[in-house]
Amino acid sequence: MSKFQQLYELLLADGVAQREQFYTPECPPPDLIELVHTPNYVQAYCQGTLEFQAQRRIGLPWSPALVRRTCVAVGGTILTAKLALTQGLACNTAGGTHHAFPNYGSGFCIFNDLAVASRVLQKLGLVHKILIVDLDVHQGDGTAVIFQGDESVFTFSMHCQANFPNAKQNSDLDVPLPIGMEDKAYLQTLGSYLPDLLSEIQPDLVLYDAGVDTHIDDKLGKLALTDTGIFLRDMQVLSTCVNAGYPVACVIGGGYADDLKSLVWRHSLLHRAASQIYQQLRL
C-alpha cells in the first residue's frame, strides 16, 4: 500500500501542506488500543498468532511491517484528533479502518482507529461528546457496534446500500444510498442531514471518514461521484463543521483503484479542501 507514502509526497510537491505542518505519530501502547479491542485479539494480531480464518477475514497478509503500519495509523488518528482540538482542523494521511470490531478485524481493517481515538480523547478528559461522520462508501459497521448504547459517541454512516458488508449493523443514523448515485443527489442528501445533526448533538469533536471509494471509478464502490463531487463533499463537511465552531479530525478512509496516481489524487482532495478551509479559519 504505497498510496500513503505517495499521498504525503503529493501534498508536499503540490504545496497543499508545508513540511512543518506534518506531525509524525507513534505506535500507541497496547492499553490504549485495548480501550476498544480485546487484549486477546490485540496480542494475537501483533504477535502474528491469529487463526487462519480470522486472518483471512481481515484480507491482508500478516507481516511485522503491517503490524507497525496498523498501530502507527491508529496513533495518527489519535494525534489528528488532538491537533483538531487545538487547531480547529487536522487530517491524517491514513486511517478510517471502520470494519474492525472489538475482537476481530474484517474488510482490510484491523484496529478501529476512529473508535480508539474517540476513547483515548475521552479518557484524557479532552472531549465528552463525539460525532463520527462516516462517508466511506461502505457502512461503518465495526464503529456502529463498538458505540452501540454509548450516548457519548454518535455514529452517522452514509453508504451505498448494496455494498459490503452484507450484514449491516445499526449506527445511530444510517443513510443507505442507491447504486449509481451521482454528485448532485449525494451532496443534497448530505446537506439534508449534517447541519441538523451538528446542532442536535453539539459535539466537542467531529471525526470525519472521507473515504473516496464513493468515486465512479472505484473498484469496490457502487456510487458515481466525480473528483469534483468528492472535493465539494469534503468542502461541505469541513465548512459546515468549522463555520459552526466544531473541530474536525479527518481520516482518508477507503479507496481502491489499479491506477494509483488517480487514487492518490482522489485522497488528496480531502487535504486540498482542508487547506482551503484552514486558511479561511486563520483569516
Give yes or no: 98 in active site: no
Contacts of 43 (CB under 8 A, 6+ apart): 30, 49
C-alpha 2 chain-centroid distance? 18
Helix (H, G, I), strand (E, B) or coil at 61: coil
Pair type for strands 153-160 and 248-251: unpaired
Residue nearest to Zn ion (CB): 254
Q: How big is the chain, counted in residues?
A: 283
x/- string (CB under 5 A) for Zn ion, residues 129-168? -------x-x------------------------------
Residue 211 interacts with Zn ion (CB under 5 A): yes or no: yes
Distance in Å, CB of 257 to Zn ion, minimum: 12
- Residue indicated by cell numbers 482522489: 266
Q: Which of 254, 268, 271, 275 binds Zn ion (CB under 5 A)?
A: 254
- In the complex with Zn ion, which residue's Cβ is closer, 8 or 256? 256
**Strand extents, DSSP E, the chain:** 89-91, 130-134, 153-160, 173-177, 205-209, 248-251
Q: Which three cell numbers stand for residue 171?
A: 449506527
Catalytic residue among 37, 98, 99, 159: 99
Residue 218 interacts with Zn ion (CB under 5 A): yes or no: no
Helix (H, G, I), strand (E, B) or coil at 178: coil
Residue 95 interacts with Zn ion (CB under 5 A): yes or no: no
74 and 33 Cβ atoms separated by less than 8 Å? yes
Distance in Å, CB of 250 to Zn ion, minimum: 15
Q: Determine the interface stretch with Zn ion among 8-16, 110-118, 211-219, 232-240 (rule: CB under 5 A).
A: 211-219
Q: Which of residues 11-40 bind Zn ion (CB under 5 A)?
A: none
Q: How many residues bind Zn ion (CB under 5 A)?
A: 5
| Residues lying near Zn ion in the complex (CB under 5 A) | 136, 138, 211, 213, 254
> Which active-site residues does the annotation give?
99
